[in-house]
Structure 1
Amino acid sequence: MACHETKYCERCHATFECKLGNILQCQCNGIRLSDEEKEYLAAHYKDCLCRDCLEAIKQEARIKSKWQSLFNLLKWRK
């Protein structure tokens, strides 16, 4: 029997259906998280987030990484 549960996203408070019993149909399936993103999520949230928030966190991590690379490049040039 599949275990489906209505949850509230800790980040945006939207409701979504978690399909832990059928992970291939879960809303988070297919989102690939880096080790750093997983560590961030584990440190800041106790439960699942909705797909939109997971994708937003990935986007924020990409932006942060690009800014850090640019900062390091500019620092190196001085």
Structure 2
Amino acid sequence: MPTHEQKICPRCKQSFECKVGDVAHCHCSTVQLTMEERAFTEERYTDCLCNNCLKDIKNKYIFFKEKYLSPNQ
């Protein structure tokens, strides 16, 4: 039987359901992070983030990378 946990997102402080016992159906499996994005997130947070924060971090990381790390500058 899959285990689901109610968690508080450490970034936005909103409650969400973590499906740690059923990762394939967990919201976090819908946001595909690169190795760089995962490392960036893991350096800052020690627990699961909500779906909105995962998406926001991904978008902000892409923006940062394009703006500051682009080889065309």
Q: Same fold (TM over 0.5)?
A: yes
Note the aligned Cα RMSD (angstroms): 1.1
Q: What TM-score comes out, normalization by structure 2 length?
A: 0.90
For residues 34 and 24 of structure 2, what CA distance do their matches in structure 1 show?
Answer: 19
> How far apart are the structure 1 equivalents of 2:38 and 2:72?
27
Deviations 1:12-64 (A, max 9, x none): 00000000111122111221111111111111101000000000000001101
CA distance in 2, matches of 1:73, 1:37: 21
Q: TM-score, normalised by structure 1?
A: 0.85
Matched position secondary structure for 1:47: coil
Question: For this pair of structures, how many residues does the alignment match?
Answer: 72
Moved over 3 A (4+): none
- Structure 2 gaps, min length 5: none
Structure 1 portions without partners, runs of 5+: none
**Which of these two proteins has the greater Rg computed from alpha carbons?**
1
Aligned sequence identity (%): 38
